[in-house]
Structure 1
Amino acid sequence: MKTYDLIVLGGGAGGLTVAAGAAGLGANVALVEKNAHLGGDCLHYGCVPSKVFIASAKKVYEAQKSTERFGLTLTGEPDIAEAMDRVKAAIAEIQEEDSDERFKDLGVDLYKGKGRFINEHQIQVGYGNVIEGKRLVVATGSRPSVPPIDGIKDIWYLTNETVFDVKETPKRLVVVGGGPMGLELAQSFARFGAEVTVLETNSTIFGKEDEDVIPVIKKSLEQELTFQFEAVAKKVREEDGTKVVTYEQHGKEIDIVADEILMATGRKPNTDEMCLDKSGVNVDDRGNIKVNEYLQSSQAHIFAIGDTNGQYPFTHAAGMEGKLVVRNALFGFKGKVSYENVPWVTYTDPEVFHLGLTEKEAKAKFGMNIKVFKVHTDKVDRFIADRDEVGFAKVVTDSKGHILGAHAIGTNAGDWMQEIIFAKAQDHKIGDISNVIHPYPTHGEILQQSADLYWREKLFDGVLPKMAEKYIQWFR
């Protein structure tokens, strides 16, 4: 039986970060991956394929709108199979960076098969090799969580793991779940010609976002999608070659006919088949491994990152956690994890950007002792020039200008809000952005204008103007 300094379970974003980092620092590392290829859910079923599909759908949508706007004629129907071929090509290209050979060249021992705990230090891979680790990292990701809807096991339905195998655009698509992934895919299918209905159990969408964002994104998406709010899917059945979804809404049961059903009802961690009970690791009711601020489980030598710990289900968060675990696991550092500067973007069109506290959260934490600086895109020359004026940027600060949160909605908002992430992470005040020269005209100028609002309020709404006026009179 071979013993390692570190065993990493899971070859997704977090696991690969740990394996590469630890091996680069001279550790003896084993990487266990149950699938044929490395890369995890993000590469094969999540971030990468969905963004390729979204980009393809956007090109189709813009072509349609441009022909209307400029008096051109567009013929033919968009071929969704071509979009799915683009998805597969992108995955294959990125896969080269996450190849088995690369990690073997780094000195990582790669084991293919499902890893199960035998005890707190030993892992069995499949039904064969048993390996031992001084320290272990669980980074096995998550999978779609499908609720026990009556009849769901008797029909074919789509999830993020099968949706990119679609060869034809369904005429009618029902999306069960109005979360980020569901909405991104729903809008993309609509742009390829599907009639899409989204069933959402809550009274609105984007419930975790700043309250100013919600009505804007809701209005935009309602132009392309049909929403049924406070709607709970109760049962499904096949009938005359189609699928029928029965949902309950305001006490009534309603049937809706679909050619395909996309289940977008959340995810659950891949921890239930790992025999964690034999390791002594504690999990919560959802199967998430409970971790402390150092990302250690109830067994101090076993760490959990990414979707397995139930914190932030983002690739970039898993990567951040992975870097921290390398230091903590290999060198015994006590680096604490912090999610204060973890942003996220929902890649609908328009995009929604989120960083830190919303205005409501900031008021709950700091009372009225906060400042809000908001600039609409129709006040920024580049957006006006693009004729793309739906959206805004909003920055929430404390009374001294320290950034508490930032939120935006608009085309490619995830790109032009990057500057605020750096400013917050480096503890810059919003006013510092005003002192940075931004090329004109760019979308990023929206943050400069937000910072200018801070200085305008500071310089012209206080005692300084009166003092300046007296000084100028004296100086003359």
Structure 2
Amino acid sequence: MYDIIVIGGGAAGLTVAAGASSLGAKVALVEKSKLLGGDCLHFGCVPSKALISIANQVAEARKTTKFGMDVSGDINVEKVMEQVQSSIRTIQEHDDPDRFEKLGVDVLFGAASFITSTKIKVGESKTIEGKRVVVATGSSPFIPPIEGLKDIHYWTNETVFTMKQLPKRLLVIGGGAIGMELSQAFARLGSEVTLVERGKTLGKTGDKELVGKVTELLEREMTVFTSTDVEKISTTNEGKIIALRDQTTTFTLEVDEIIVAAGRKPNTRELNLDGVGVKVDERGHILIDRYGRSSIPTIFGIGDVNGQYGFTHAAGMEGKAVVQTAVLGIPSKLSYESFPWITFTDPEWFQMGLTEESAVQRFGKENINIYKSSLDEVDRFIAEHRTEGIVKMITKKDGTIIGAHALGVGAGDWMQTVVYAVQKKQKIGSLSRMIYPYPNRAGAVQKTSDLYWREKLFNGPFTKITKKYIQWFR
């Protein structure tokens, strides 16, 4: 009898397995594939960021022509993908099964399914039993029911990183984070990219002002269609014919290859969750309470399977909380109040908390303050000639930060200061009082937070008081 059975060897599952074992629990880790690390390592975060880095290097090299240098030639995409795979192999060493075996975890490879709420079938014949089970099986690409799609070759994030030849004309279906990142990367490598999103905007949950700026920047490098459906795909000797429909017309375009990035679906179908009474939503996400517990209290759902936030750092956070709840019996809430995420376009797009629109809806426009700075006001970005971007902070009237958004080079790094402030219950004024080495990019945070004190000092009664005091003081 195991204390904890973990199903899924991605970020969430590995966090639970290592944490529970270190506390002295008897742990089994079950993984369907032959490799640990999950989608993030093999098909998601790691390879995409490796590809983005290479693409950005190519883009920067091409910019050197304005300094008189000669840059020419086509990209060898096989060499690009070999470097991507090298990154995966290096990080894979951290997720080697032997490491977890040495921690005391029993690592079992094979498909898992529930027999009862405590018994798990692994592979064809093995059965294991545990007091508690953590489901962390991740997600996989959702393939939309587009006429003709199943009959042609297309890539998803699970297959694109084995590409052998760079397509001249590329269609990307889906304007979420994966779609935007891959679109820009391939555009910079040399493909003519068309990005199609059926929703009204790219990054549809984002702050409207920043969504507009991100879209504007991407449109400089590719063609972007929003509010547009892909209705049908057919093939000719010259390529793939795509029938598109926007709000008013139907039109076609011709491409060589397609990447499908139309969302994710939870990997729960084969687990027999219904058979043991675990409730799921219409898409198959496990319904959880604020402690990560499913409708069966001894079964937990963390990571992509619960449909909360489909990010590796969310899975890790949830895993840490569930270790405390499941192993020690001390309930630890899953909190997303200060949860940040980044879309790794160039420049990066950082998001945390409420957007301006959602803050107005929740609190009323008269009860919030908006503080904004453009990066063309920050000396470091001016020096680098990378002034495309903005910092936007949303607060309550007392300075409590309820939303923070930024677009800028390295924004995912320098906005971490704001994440820390929110987690420590610090208000926007405390960010202004910090000392920022000059000139660094985090000066954008300083510039924005300074606006809080400027408003307090110059629009309030304080200036009148100090003026009288100065007149009196000799």
TM-score range, shorter chain: over 0.9
Deviation, 1:251, is: 4.9
Contact 1:5–1:134 (CA<8 Å) still a contact in 2? yes
Read off the aligned partner of 1:415 and give its amino acid letter. D
SS in 2 for 1:17: helix
- The code of the aligned residue for 1:300 comes to P
2:219 matched residue in structure 1: 222
Structure 1 vs Structure 2: percent identity of aligned residues? Answer: 51
Letter in 1 for 2:231: K
Residues 163, 466 of structure 1: alpha-carbon distance in 2 compared, 3 angstrom cutoff: same
Structure 2 counterpart of 1:132? 129
Distance 1:75 1:240 in 2: 30
Deviations 1:314-356 (A, max 9, x none): 0000100000000000122222211111100001111110010
Give the CA deviation at 1:237.
Answer: 2.0
Map of 2:55 onto structure 1 = 57
User: Residues 23-82 of structure 1: CA distance to partner in whole angstroms, max 9, x if unpaired?
Assistant: 000000000001111000000000000000000000001101122x21211121122222
Give the CA RMSD over aligned residues: 1.0
Any idea what SS the aligned residue of 1:273 has?
helix
The answer for the alignment partner of 1:146 in structure 2 is 143
What code does the residue aligned with 1:375 have? S
- Correspondent of 2:16 among 15, 18, 28: 18
SS of 2:269's partner is coil
2:176/2:204 contact within 8 Å kept? no
Q: Please list, as runs of the form range in 1=range in 2, the aligned pairs for 1:430-445 lying within 5 A after superposition.
A: 430-445=428-443
Cα-to-partner distance string for 1:203-236 (whole Å, 9 max, x where unaligned): 3212211122022111110011101222111221
User: 1:308 aligns to what?
Assistant: 305
Q: What is the alpha-carbon distance in structure 1 between the residues aligned to residue 232 and residue 209 of structure 2? A: 35
Larger mean Cα displacement after TM superposition, 272-281 or 299-308: 272-281
Alpha carbons of 1:372 and 1:134: their partners in 2 closer, same or farther (altered >3 Å)? same
TM-score (norm: length of structure 2): 0.98
Deviation at 1:88, TM superposition (A): 0.4
In structure 2, the residue matched to 1:238 is 235
Q: Residue 278 of structure 1: CA displacement? A: 2.1
In 1, Cα distance between equivalents of 2:257 and 2:306: 32
CA-to-aligned-CA distance 1:173-228 (integer Å, 9 cap, x gap): 01111111011001111111111111111232122111220221111100111012
Cα distance in 2, alignment partners of residues 440 and 192 from structure 1: 34
Q: Which amino acid aligns with 1:165?
A: T
Between 76-85 and 251-260, report the one with greater CA deviation: 251-260
TM normalised by structure 1 equals 0.98
The aligned runs of 1:29-108 (5 Å cut-off) are 29-67=27-65, 69-108=66-105
1:156, distance to aligned residue in structure 2 (A)? 1.1
Q: What residue ranges of structure 1 are gaps of 5+ in the alignment?
A: none
Structure 1: which 4+ aligned runs deviate by more than 3 Å? Answer: none
Residue 254 of structure 1 is matched in structure 2 by 251
Which residue is 2:287 aligned to? 290
1:337 partner letter = L
Letter paired with 1:146? I
Long gaps (5+) in structure 2: none
Note the C-alpha offset of 1:241. Answer: 5.1
CA shift, 1:254, in A, is 2.2
1:76-475 equivalences under 5 Å are 76-240=73-237, 242-367=239-364, 368-475=366-473
Work out the CA distance in 2 between the residues paired with 1:240 and 1:150.
19
Whole-Å separation in 2 of the counterparts to 1:299 and 1:241: 54
Structure 2 letter corresponding to 1:240: N
The count of residues paired between Structure 1 and Structure 2 equals 473
CA distance in 2, matches of 1:88, 1:341: 33
Please say which of residues 243-252 and 264-273 is displaced more in the overlay.
243-252
Return the alpha-carbon distance in structure 1 between the equivalents of residues 92 and 397 of structure 2: 47
